[in-house]
Structure 1
Amino acid sequence: MVAIILAVVLNLGVVLAGLRLYAYPDTDAPAPTDAVFVIGPPTPTRIAIAQQMVDAGLTSNVIISVPGPGSDSPEFEATALAICSQPQTFTVYCVTPSPFTTQGEARSLQSLAASHGWTSATVITFTPHILRARIIMSRCFTGDLRMVADRAPLGAARWIYEAVYQTSAFVKVLAEPAC
């Protein structure tokens, strides 16, 4: 009986920790920053959040992480190419990080910030990725970093996948502490 209670308590603890880390991570409200970075994939909802920030006068620089040619997400590649190839009322920087990972994106942010003198940035990603992205980005970008969540709905199967994936990906974060 004690083993069953212990197992239930342990499982409940894992579920509650997962909810806190992935479903309800600490996020920031949009605020004025030197640049807004839509990290991969550049979904329509993430692009819309960046556009809303521009429209609100919070930034005039938008960075889009563009998947490379032949990526496994051509629909996101098309979304990014639309904003990257059409004239905008703001400055757009379209980058294909190498590697096309959060760490590659963090290095791209660091490089752009250094070359443009930016001291603040907002990163837009989806909710389960916020915590891990914040850790990786803050290793490379030492300025004021804000994280805004794309709260597009995810189905139950996707939430389970993300909990497993993001937890596994933390192993890499721990193994590679540098930018």
Structure 2
Amino acid sequence: MALSVAVFLLILGSAWSWFAVTKIYNPRLDPVPEDVDVIVQLGGAYGADFTAARQMAQDLHVPNLVISEPTGRQDRRARYCGPLVGVAVYCLTPDPSTTRGEARGFTALAYSHGWRSAYVMGTGREHTERVRHYFSQCWDGELAVNSPSQSRSFREALRQGFYQSAGWARALTYRGC
């Protein structure tokens, strides 16, 4: 009995390790497409990431920017969702305030505006594959996913590994959007 439990735990640990390496710590990061309809910065990011997304949209002449600002705080909305020369800025309050809620909210915006391609920035490297999962389930447009350039400490990366593992466990229970 003890041997079978040990083998089970070894297999489970190996499976999680493979999953963590491929989906959390070493995800596929897409470059910015040459011609994209919208850049999306998901909530939970640092303020500098929102500012960088605004600058990227302007520098690359991307006509639309969606900022997911789940807190609803007016000072944050004014700072990150305010007007931007040459770019239409949309502020999204996801419901529920999760990656899934962000994908659903974005999908509604994308269909109402006719967007067919999006460059979505997760909240960190560990988040990108789960972002891809939800957005692909909700939207059938051309999708590229990346993460902000902010680096994380080892401790924060480890914490994110556990947090994103729990997020994946939840994500895999949903079918459809």
Question: How many angstroms does 1:53 deviate by?
Answer: 3.6
Distance 1:16 1:41 in 2: 26
Distance 1:11 1:171 in 2: 15
SS at match of 1:45: helix
Distance 2:53 2:128 in 1: 15
The match for 1:100 among 66, 83, 97 is: 97
The two structures have a TM-score, normalised by structure 1, of 0.81
Alignment correspondent of 1:146: 144
* Runs of 5+ unmatched residues, structure 1: 1-5
The two structures have a TM-score, normalised by structure 2, of 0.82
What amino acid maps onto 2:44 in structure 1?
P
Aligned identity (percent) is 28
What amino acid maps onto 1:141 in structure 2?
W
Alignment correspondent of 2:3: none
Alignment correspondent of 2:23: 21
SS at match of 2:101: helix
The match for 1:119 among 80, 101, 116 is: 116
Structure 1 residues 115 and 93: CA distance shift in structure 2, 3 A: same
**Number of residue pairs the alignment of both structures matches:** 168
CA contact (8 A) 1:36 1:61 kept: yes
**Which is further off, 161-170 or 134-143?**
161-170
Superimposed CA distance per residue, residues 69-93 of structure 1 (whole angstroms, 9 cap, x where no aligned partner): 4xxxx7xx744430223x3111100
Alignment correspondent of 2:42: 39
Does structure 1 residue 56 correspond to structure 2 residue 60? yes
Structure 1 residues 92 and 135: CA distance shift in structure 2, 3 A: same
CA contact (8 A) 1:42 1:79 kept: no
Alignment correspondent of 1:65: 68
SS at match of 1:150: coil
Structure 1 residues 11 and 151: CA distance shift in structure 2, 3 A: farther
The match for 1:130 among 122, 128, 131 is: 128
Distance 1:120 1:166 in 2: 26
CA contact (8 A) 2:39 2:53 kept: no
Question: How many angstroms does 1:16 deviate by?
Answer: 5.5
SS at match of 1:157: helix
Question: How many angstroms does 1:45 deviate by?
Answer: 3.5
Question: How many angstroms does 1:44 deviate by?
Answer: 2.8
* Runs of 5+ unmatched residues, structure 2: 1-6
Distance 2:170 2:135 in 1: 14
What amino acid maps onto 2:162 in structure 1?
V
Moved over 6 A (4+): 6-10
Distance 1:127 1:154 in 2: 9
